[in-house]
């Protein structure tokens, strides 16, 4: 995963504000102990570490790293580590809260965490990135572990970063500990199907939502913003099942063909950077134009805050399935609610990533690798269970899909707090 969620727009809220607002919206529909809600407004702990890095020229530079733990009532903390110049303590706290809801809606035995280092990874050599990662792992060692907190890749980090992180932790632990991180290369305990899982889950959820509205995938047109890891895998999943992918984009622009693209012919950003915007398509569009196309389903799968109060009224799609994290601002969400546009939220749609991370953790603990076929089968089953739980809330109450999703998550977390009680 390499893209950023934009936080520069004036309308955008901080991740922690969004997470708190969504918690309060869900709490208003449930009979939840106010003490539990108050507890969930805050992280359990936030660790701030200083990381000295020896640069290739022999000088030493200091970097700041964070790890926020939000809630662990349902199991060990789980969440990504990002390397990005915009990493802040508040952002880590907000994103750790999102992870708590995401794990709960998927019914995974994990709580939420997020962390990162304030650094531009593009300015580091491979050796510098490795040294930074190893030292960061060492600084976090007291608060992470397979039964405590399990990091994963995020913006600016990848399977290789997780391999160094796991090796550093294992060397100090005196034993190979693959379960300390997920998103590793399969050769050291990573799971088959991990990288494609978020896009696949977006595809599965879109398929279910189409069926819910009594439509056929074969008669569904789809526009995908961001033909990267999430977007391309979602588009290909739906294309293979008969949907017509009429538009896709990358950072440089969009391509449009009303008859639909062969999504295996268009290569994604990693396969051939810039291929989308240079593809020989009937029509070229801008990214904002793609968002306003008259399609059945719009999948924003690039960055955050792209659907705003400025463009929400021009969106003609009947349904939005959030592939990216936080693509819809709260003001835009209100417009979609008023206009009856179904918005299937990120914490459900792209949760295939953390779900296959859970499978990876199970495989590591059991020292037994699953086949890709098994990963796909189990992911399908987990996604259907989550979808059905959300659908039941949606049918039972007069709420949006987003609210229904948060209701499922919060009721599970609140019940767990209730059952365990407050210590001491
Ligand atoms: P990626 O880098 O593989 O792909 C991103 C795509 O978006 C690329 O095609 C890129 O050209 C395009 N893009 C970048 N900036 C853009 C802009 N300003 N306007 C339009 N297009 C732009 O990234 P990814 O891993 O697919 O992640 C995409 C989103 O999904 C992010 O919000 C990420 O947080 C979220 N997400 C990713 C994962 C994962 O594991 N990959 C899991 C859950 C959520």
Q: Which atom of ligand 1 approaches the CA of 231 most closely? A: 26
Quick one: pLDDT band at residue 7, thresholds 50, 70, 90?
Answer: very low
Question: Which of helix, strand or coil describes residue 74?
Answer: coil
* Residue at token pair 């949760």: 351
Q: Is the pLDDT assigned to residue 305 strictly greater than 80?
A: yes
Q: What is the pLDDT of residues 252-268, one digit of tens each?
A: 999 999 999 999 998 77
Q: Is the pLDDT assigned to residue 321 strictly greater than 80?
A: yes
**Which residues are near ligand 1 (CB < 6 Å)?**
1-3, 5, 198, 225-231, 249-251, 269, 287, 301-304, 323-325, 350, 353
Q: Is the pLDDT assigned to residue 1 strictly greater than 70?
A: no
Dig out the tokens for 408 from the structure: 């499922």
Average pLDDT over residues 283-311: 97
Q: Is the pLDDT assigned to residue 2 strictly greater than 60?
A: no
Quick one: pLDDT band at residue 352, thresholds 50, 70, 90?
Answer: very high
State the CB neighbour count (10 A cutoff) for residue 246: 22
Residue 267, pLDDT score: 79
Q: Which atom of ligand 1 approaches the CA of 268 most closely? A: 9
CA of 353 to the centre of ligand 1 (A): 13
Cα angle: 142, vertex 156, 361; to 5 degrees: 50
Question: Which of helix, strand or coil describes residue 276?
Answer: helix
The enclosing H or E element of 284 equals strand 283-285
pTM of the entire predicted model: 0.95
Residue 10, pLDDT score: 46
Q: Is the pLDDT assigned to residue 243 strictly greater than 80?
A: yes
CA of 372 to the centre of ligand 1 (A): 23
Residue 5, pLDDT score: 33
Q: What is the mean pLDDT of the chain?
A: 94
Bridge partners, 298 (sequence order): 223, 320
Q: Is the pLDDT assigned to residue 269 strictly greater than 80?
A: no
Q: What is the pLDDT of residues 354-397, one digit of tens each?
A: 999 999 999 999 999 999 999 999 999 999 999 999 999 999 99
Which protein residue has the closest C-alpha to ligand 1 atom 25? 1
Quick one: pLDDT band at residue 322, thresholds 50, 70, 90?
Answer: very high
CA of 323 to the centre of ligand 1 (A): 8
Q: Which atom of ligand 1 approaches the CA of 5 most closely? A: 32
Q: Is the pLDDT assigned to residue 238 strictly greater than 80?
A: yes
Q: Is the pLDDT assigned to residue 11 strictly greater than 80?
A: no
Residue 3, pLDDT score: 36
Q: What is the pLDDT of residues 153-200, one digit of tens each?
A: 999 999 999 999 999 999 999 999 999 999 999 999 999 999 999 999
| Contact between residue 152 and residue 181 where contact means Cβ atoms under 8 Å apart | yes
Dig out the tokens for 52 from the structure: 């000295």
Going by C-alpha positions, the residue among 334, 409, 319 that lies closest to residue 29 is 409
Q: What is the pLDDT of residues 23-60, one digit of tens each?
A: 999 999 999 999 999 999 999 999 999 999 999 999 99
Residue 149, pLDDT score: 98
Average pLDDT over residues 307-329: 97
Which protein residue has the closest C-alpha to ligand 1 atom 17? 251
Dig out the tokens for 307 from the structure: 């659907």
6 vs 134 pLDDT, higher one: 134
Residue 12, pLDDT score: 62
Average pLDDT over residues 118-128: 98
Identify the sign of the CA torsion 409, 411, 416, 420: positive
């Amino acid at each position: 995963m390499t893209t950023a969620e934009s936080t520069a727009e004036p309308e955008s809220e901080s991740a922690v504000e969004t997470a708190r607002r969504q918690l309060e919206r869900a709490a208003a529909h449930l009979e939840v102990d106010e003490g539990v809600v108050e507890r969930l407004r805050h992280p359990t702990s936030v660790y701030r570490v200083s990381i000295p890095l020896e640069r290739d020229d022999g000088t030493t530079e200091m970097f700041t790293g964070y790890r926020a733990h939000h809630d662990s009532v349902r199991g060990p903390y789980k969440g990504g580590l990002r390397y990005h110049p915009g990493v802040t303590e508040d952002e880590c706290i907000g994103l750790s809260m999102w992870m708590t809801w995401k794990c709960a809606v998927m019914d995974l035995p994990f709580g939420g965490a997020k962390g990162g280092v304030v650094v531009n990874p593009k300015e580091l050599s491979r050796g510098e990135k490795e040294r930074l990662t190893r030292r960061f792992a060492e600084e976090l060692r007291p608060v992470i572990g397979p039964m405590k907190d399990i990091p994963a890749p995020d913006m600016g980090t990848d399977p290789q970063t997780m391999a160094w992180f796991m090796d550093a932790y294992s060397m100090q632990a005196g034993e190979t500990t693959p379960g300390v991180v997920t998103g590793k290369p399969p050769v050291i305990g990573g799971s088959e199907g991990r990288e494609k899982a978020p896009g696949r889950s977006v595809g599965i959820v879109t398929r279910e939502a189409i069926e819910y509205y009594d439509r056929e995938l074969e008669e569904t047109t789809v526009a995908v913003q961001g033909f990267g890891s999430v977007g391309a895998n979602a588009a290909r999943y739906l294309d293979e099942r008969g949907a017509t992918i009429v538009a896709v984009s990358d950072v440089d622009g969009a391509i449009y063909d009303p008859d639909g693209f062969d999504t295996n012919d268009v290569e994604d950003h990693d396969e051939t950077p810039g291929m989308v915007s240079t593809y020989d398509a009937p029509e070229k569009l801008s990214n904002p134009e793609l968002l306003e196309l008259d399609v059945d389903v719009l999948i924003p799968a690039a960055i955050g805050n792209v659907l705003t109060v400025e463009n929400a009224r021009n969106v003609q799609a009947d349904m939005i399935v959030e592939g990216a994290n936080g693509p819809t601002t709260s003001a835009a969400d209100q417009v979609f609610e008023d206009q009856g546009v179904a918005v299937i939220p990120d914490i459900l749609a792209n949760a295939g990533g953390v779900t296959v991370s859970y499978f990876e953790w199970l495989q590591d603990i059991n020292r037994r690798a699953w086949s890709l076929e098994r990963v796909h089968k189990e992911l399908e089953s987990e996604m259907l269970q989550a979808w059905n739980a959300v659908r039941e809330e949606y049918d039972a109450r007069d709420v949006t899909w987003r609210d229904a999703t948060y209701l499922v998550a919060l009721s599970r977390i609140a019940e767990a707090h209730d059952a365990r009680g407050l210590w001491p």
